[in-house]
Amino acid sequence: MTALVTLERLVIPVHLDGSGGRNRAPSPGQLAATDDRAAILAWLARYRDSPATLASYRKEAERLMLWCGLQRGVALSDLTHEDLLAYQEFLADPQPAERWVMAPGQKPGRDSPRWRPFAGSLGGTSQRQALSILNAMLSWLVEAGYLAGNPLALSRRKRRSAAPHVSRFLSMENWTAVKDTIEAMPRNSERERLHAARCRWLFSLLYIGGLRASEVCATAMGGFFCRRGSDGRERWWLEVTGKGSKTRLVPATGELMVELMRYRKAHGLSPLPLEGDRLPMLMPLIGPKKFMARSAIHEIVKKVVRDSAARLRLQSPELEDAAAHLEQASTHWMRHTAGSHLSEKVDLKVVRDNLGHANISTTSIYLHTEDDARHDATEAVHHAGWRTP
């Protein structure tokens, strides 16, 4: 086993494929898989309806499989507790870097010969996340009767209190700092103007709508529609397909619709989309109007929060704690921020349904009435509060 390729294309020699691994369960289990790669693919198949989770879990399983064959010279089902201690050290510093780490500034596709499993060394939080995923995978393989035991279960578990708790949402003050940063963005060139417009629209979707990054990526402009409620009023909604392929309706408040029209105007489009409009909800600055990748959205968010943290530090040394917290924020923090701020003002059922934590129906008149009340409750209290019209 010498080639470094993705899990889908990985060809493993018989002596490393785990078919005779010493940690294999003594009797046939519930899987048809007879080797490690097939067993891992069976585990990953459980997450096909959650693309973001699937990508994250595949990445960690893939890294471990490649390390087993190329670095350690053992099968996954031969791994011992000592092997996994060595793997933890490897995550902190994957060497040799030319084999394991992508060149700076490069993001080649998974089918490219320049692809590598790592973008760099993993920090403490990322290491814990990786090992947590692998622990879940190995425990499932034990439960399925493929492995006899989980060698990661022997690891010393640190008390939760050992690490400081991080509130994964923004305070109202930090949310204001983010808005200030976006509103202060330069607009001297066409590219700068479109970038500023895109940032404002993205953060409006994440905060007002509480959308996931995957939902922003996958939703077209035609997801907006207007519906007359049982009280005779017309309200705008956004239909999105979220985690687990579940569809939900997000209240498109008056503020969100103004931001939509503002964004479309920046691109020279009509104020409102028509039914069936296939334009992406968030568009690239140049080139064809293709749907953006989640990684591109994450990069936009991270750049904005880093710039916001830098602005806070320039304002006053006393804002260092707020700046340090803000620069840790991710795209998903914005969803938590939306839910946290909204939950202070409305019934939790409104928050639950807005964020898609439960199924909702669009056919029942009774539920339509509940939806309308939810729309009104959101409209009345939940605003991004952009200062410029």
What are the tens digits of pLDDT across the range 103-128?
887 778 888 888 899 988 888 888 88
Domain of 297: which CATH number? 1.10.443.10
Query: What pLDDT does 347 receive?
Result: 72
Backbone torsions φ then ψ of 280, nearest 5 degrees: -60, 150
Instruction: With cut-offs at 50, 70 and 90, classify the pLDDT of residue 155.
Output: low
- Which domain covers residue 201, as residue numbers? 172-381
pLDDT of res. 358? 56
Judgement on whether residues 352 and 281 belong to the same structural domain of the protein: yes
Residue 376 has a pLDDT of: 82
Top pLDDT among 355 and 202 is at: 202
| Residue entry with tokens 């103007």 | 193
Statement: the pTM of the whole predicted model exceeds 0.85: no
Over range 76-92, report the average pLDDT: 94
pLDDT of 299 reads 93
Confidence band of 159 (pLDDT split at 50, 70, 90): very low
Q: Within this chain, do residues 194 and 226 fall inside the same structural domain, yes or no?
A: yes
Domain count along the chain: 2
Together in a domain, 328 and 355: yes
Residues 84 and 198 in one domain: no
pLDDT category at 56 given cuts 50, 70, 90 is confident
87 and 228 part of one domain:
no
Report pLDDT digits (tens) over 2-45. Answer: 567 787 778 888 888 999 999 999 887 889 999 999 999 999 99
179 shares its domain with 80: no
Whether residues 192 and 79 share a domain: the answer is: no
What's residue 364's pLDDT? 33
Residue 204 confidence (pLDDT) above 90:
yes
Residue 382: what are its φ and ψ, rounded to 5°? -110, 105
Residue 366 has pLDDT above 50, yes or no: no
First to last CA, the chain: 60
> Which H helix or E strand runs over 234?
strand 234-241
d(CA 123, CA 218): 30
> What value does the mean pLDDT take over residues 167-187?
93
Angle at 125 between CA 127 and CA 244, to 5 degrees: 90
- Arithmetic mean of pLDDT, 238-265: 93
| Phi, psi of 88, deg, nearest 5 | -60, -40
Q: Can you tell me the distance from the alpha carbon of 314 to that of 328, in angstroms, rounded to the nearest whole number?
A: 18
Amino acid identity of residue 219, one-letter, is T
The answer to whether residues 269 and 120 belong to one domain is no
Q: 162, 180, 197: which is the final residue of a domain?
A: 162
198 three-class SS: helix
